[in-house]
Amino acid sequence: MIPSIDLGPLTIQTFGLCVAIAFLCAGAVLMRRFRELGWDPDWAYEGTGAALVGGIVGARLWWALTDLSAVGDDPFGRIFGGSGLTWYGGAIGGTLAVWLWAKWRKLPLWDMAGAAVPALALGYALGRVGCQISGDGDYGIPSDVPWAMAYPEGVVPTTQEVHPTPIYETLWIGLVALMLWQLRDRIGPKRLVAIYLIASGIERFVVEFWRRNEAVDGTITLAQITAIVSILFGVAVVGMARGGGASRPAG
C-alpha cells in the first residue's frame, strides 16, 4: 500500500491524488461529449467542478447524518476534518449541484444527465483505485479466496487477508463506463441514465456482501438499501424513456 508520497517537504496523499486524476479524466470525457453535442466544451469543467463541490458536501453530510456517534463531541472538527465521506451522499450532492448548474446554463437536463453518466462512472472507477492504493478501509471482510490480500501499511491497516473490494468496484464500474460511452449515440439520455442507475445499484448491492459495513437490521446494509432505491429509480426512468430517441451530436 502507498498511503502517501513524500516529495521532499511535500507529502501527497495517494487517495487525494487519485481523486484529482478522476476529476481530470471525467472532465476530459465530458468535454469530448460536449463537443459532440455542439455545446461549449469549456463548460465541461464547470459542470465537473459543480459535481466535485456538491459531491464533497453531500458525502460529508450523509456520513454525519448516518453516523452521528462518529461525529462525537467535536461536530465541527469531524464534519470539516479529513475523514468521513460516503459515496451515495456524494452522488446525491453532486447530482443536485450539477442540476442547479445545468439550469443556470440553460442546458436540457436529461441531455446533460445522459452526457454526464459515462464521465461519472469513469470518475468513480478511478476513485476506487485511490481506495485500493491507500488502503483507506474500504476493503472487505476476511476471506480465503486466492486473490484475498492484506493491507498492513494502509491508512486503515489490517494484516488479515480480506476481499479487495475496491478492485471489484473499479472493474465493474469501469466496464459500465465503457458500455455507456459506446451507447451514447445509440440510445436516448434517459436510457443511459437508467443503465447507470441500475448497473451501479446492482454493483453496490452485490459488493456490500463482501464489505465490512454493518447491517442496519441484521440483514442488509444502509448502502444496500440505497442501492435498491437506485435500481428502482433506474427502472422508473426506463418507463419514462419509452419512445425516446438517442441524443444526436449537433451538425
**pLDDT the model gives residue 73:** 53
Domain-located, residue 32: yes
How buried is residue 19: exposed, middle or buried, by Cβ count under 10 Å (0-12/13-18/19+)? buried
How many CB atoms lie under 10 A from the CB of residue 227? 24
Q: Which pLDDT value is given to residue 45?
A: 87
More confident of the two residues 75 and 233: 233
Is 25 contained in some domain? yes
User: Within a domain: residue 228?
Assistant: no
Q: Mean pLDDT across the stretch 178-189?
A: 95
Lowest mean pLDDT segment, chosen from 58-62, 87-91, 144-148: 87-91
Q: Helix/strand/coil (H, E, C) string of the chain?
A: CCCEEEECCEEEEHHHHHHHHHHHHHHHHHHHHHHHHCCCCCHHHHHHHHHHHHHHHHHHHHHHHHCHHHHCCCHHHHHCCCCCCCHHHHHHHHHHHHHHHHHHCCCCHHHHHHHHHHHHHHHHHHHHHHHHHHCCCCCECECCCCCCEEECCCCCCEEEEECCHHHHHHHHHHHHHHHHHHCCCCCCHHHHHHHHHHHHHHHHHHHCCCECCCECCCCCEHHHHHHHHHHHHHHHHHHHCCCCCCCCCCC
Better-predicted residue by pLDDT, 241 or 245: 241
pLDDT for 11 equals 85
pLDDT band at 242 (very low <50, low <70, confident <90, very high): confident
Determine the pLDDT at residue 80. 43
- Answer with the residue of higher pLDDT: 64 or 162: 162
Any domain includes 98 = yes
Q: Is 65 left (phi over 0), alpha (psi -120 to 50) or beta?
A: alpha
Determine the structural domain holding residue 27 and report its residue range: 4-188
pLDDT for 15: 86
Q: pLDDT band for position 7 (50/70/90)?
A: confident
Domains in the chain: how many in total? 1
Q: Is 212 part of any domain?
A: no
pLDDT in tens, 128-143: 999 999 998 889 999 9
Residue 244 pLDDT greater than 80, yes or no: no
Q: Note whether residue 67 is domain-resident.
A: yes
Residue 218 is assigned to a structural domain of this protein = no
- The answer on pLDDT for 236 being more than 80 is yes
pLDDT of residue 76: 45
pLDDT of 92:
78
If you average pLDDT over every residue of the chain, what do you get? 85
Is residue 126 domain-resident?
yes
pLDDT at 63 over 70: no
Residue 59: pLDDT over 70:
yes
Assessment of whether the complete model's pTM goes beyond 0.85: no
pLDDT class of 197 with cuts at 50, 70, 90 = very high
